[in-house]
């Protein structure tokens, strides 16, 4: 007996199945190739907020998901017996111009209002930020405490194990039988299918490249400097990412763009230069036309639901995405923001 079938074992599919299982639903997750086989099996794992100005329901949704992340992933770890790699380590960002400094101070005021004392955004002296501090032209950096890191692959496998511990199934391979209500969380392939059915582009895959370096910086904050992201992980490695490529020759092969990114990361944090490269990674991330997640009633499969389009924010949004999808699928309660609905990308 199955109440909910989820197609896709990436983070959105697993988070939806987990939320349904916790409410007593009997769930089955089906994935043709395996848990975290697509972009959810990436290496970066930065969970960071949108800038805190011009507050709206989208930023509130993300804030609630990020602020609840520690409780969420600790519960997953307890039930599954597996580690997710989660830790709210905060983030440092260099401030290189006077204009950037003014904007950073405005955002500090906005964060004080909208984050409601649950996290902070401050401008601090680089000298007081510790050894793991990015190069900065002004001698100042942003330090915010809402950002966290996670190990994407470990987190997905922990979710899968937690679902099994609650009596759910994870089926790997082709499975034509779909019982109960169906949620499609099939990433790029799902966006391509909808585009083909409707005869117009509703989303696409954006290639990302990243690398893992052999450097132990456990407990250090995330660093972001423009498009350079540096994430120290709990296993004694450091992830560097990631590119955003709309055009590419191969979706899952790395190239000179990654090598350039690694060099720029070493300029931001010179201690990375001597670290060996343990792994290079590339894959496609699902980006809906609206650039926001696509959640709700499936636009081309009558009676079914969709959870897609996580793009760069899937893991940070996953706790709240699972919650609102379970609300809709099990209880017919629609708490999905307007911009997250499929109609926003159609």
Q: At what angle do helices 314-331 and 69-80 cross, to 10 degrees?
A: 80
Task: List CB contacts of 263: < 8 A, sequence separation 6 or more.
Answer: none
Whether 161 has a pLDDT exceeding 90, the answer reads yes
28-82 per-position pLDDT tens digit: 999 999 999 999 999 999 999 999 999 999 999 999 999 999 999 999 999 999 9
User: Dihedrals φ, ψ of 163, to 5°?
Assistant: -60, -45
224-277 per-position pLDDT tens digit: 999 999 999 999 999 999 999 999 999 999 999 999 999 999 999 999 999 999
Give how far the C-alpha of residue 274 lies from the chain's centroid of Cα atoms, to the nearest Å: 28
Q: Where are the domains of the chain?
A: 4-128+147-201+289-345, 204-287
pTM: 0.96
Answer whether 4-128+147-201+289-345 and 204-287 agree in fold: no
Overall CATH class of domain 4-128+147-201+289-345: alpha beta
pLDDT at res. 177: 75
Homologous superfamily of 204-287 in CATH? D-Amino Acid Oxidase, subunit A, domain 2 (3.30.9.10)
- How far is the first Cα of the chain from the last one, in angstroms, to the nearest whole number? 35
Alpha helices in the chain (DSSP H): 11-22, 57-67, 69-80, 98-114, 152-165, 187-198, 256-268, 314-331
Following DSSP, what letter does each residue of 313-328 receive, concatenated?
SHHHHHHHHHHHHHHH
Q: What is the mean pLDDT of the chain?
A: 96
Cβ proximity of 288 and 324 under 8 Å: no
Give how far the C-alpha of residue 295 lies from the chain's centroid of Cα atoms, to the nearest Å: 15
Task: List CB contacts of 171: < 8 A, sequence separation 6 or more.
Answer: 28, 29, 30, 31
Sign of the dihedral defined by the CA atoms of residues 124, 151, 204, 161, in that order:
negative
Cβ proximity of 275 and 214 under 8 Å: yes
């Amino acid at each position: 007996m199955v109440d909910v079938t989820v197609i896709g074992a990436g983070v959105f599919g697993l988070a939806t199945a987990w939320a349904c299982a916790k409410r007593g639903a009997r769930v089955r997750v089906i994935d043709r190739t395996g848990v975290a086989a697509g972009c959810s099996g990436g290496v970066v794992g930065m969970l960071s907020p949108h800038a805190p100005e011009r507050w709206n329901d989208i930023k509130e949704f993300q804030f609630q998901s990020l602020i609840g992340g520690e409780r969420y992933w600790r519960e997953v770890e307890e039930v599954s017996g597996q580690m997710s790699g989660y830790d709210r380590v905060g983030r440092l960002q260099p401030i290189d111009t006077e204009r950037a400094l003014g904007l950073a101070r405005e955002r500090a005021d906005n964060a004080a209002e909208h984050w409601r004392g649950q996290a902070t955004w401050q401008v601090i002296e680089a000298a007081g930020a510790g050894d793991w501090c990015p190069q900065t032209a002004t001698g100042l950096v942003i330090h915010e405490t809402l950002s966290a890191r996670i190990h994407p692959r470990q987190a997905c496998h922990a979710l899968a194990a937690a679902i099994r511990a609650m009596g759910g199934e994870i089926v790997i391979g082709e499975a034509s039988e779909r019982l109960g209500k169906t949620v499609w969380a099939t990433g790029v392939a799902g966006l391509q299918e909808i585009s083909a059915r409707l005869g117009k582009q509703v989303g696409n895959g954006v290639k990302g490249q990243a690398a893992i370096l052999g450097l132990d910086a456990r407990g250090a904050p995330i660093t972001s400097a423009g498009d350079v992201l540096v994430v120290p992980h709990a296993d004694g490695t450091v992830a560097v990412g990631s590119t955003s490529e709309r055009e590419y020759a191969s979706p899952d092969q790395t190239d000179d763009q990654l090598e350039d990114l690694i060099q720029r990361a070493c300029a931001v944090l010179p201690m990375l230069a001597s670290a060996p490269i343990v792994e290079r990674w590339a894959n496609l991330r699902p980006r809906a036309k609206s650039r926001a997640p696509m959640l709700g009633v499936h636009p081309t499969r009558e009676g079914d639901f969709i959870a897609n389009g996580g793009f760069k924010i899937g893991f940070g949004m996953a706790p709240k995405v699972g919650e609102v999808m379970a609300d809709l699928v099990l209880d017919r309660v629609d708490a999905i923001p307007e911009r997250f609905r499929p109609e926003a990308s159609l």
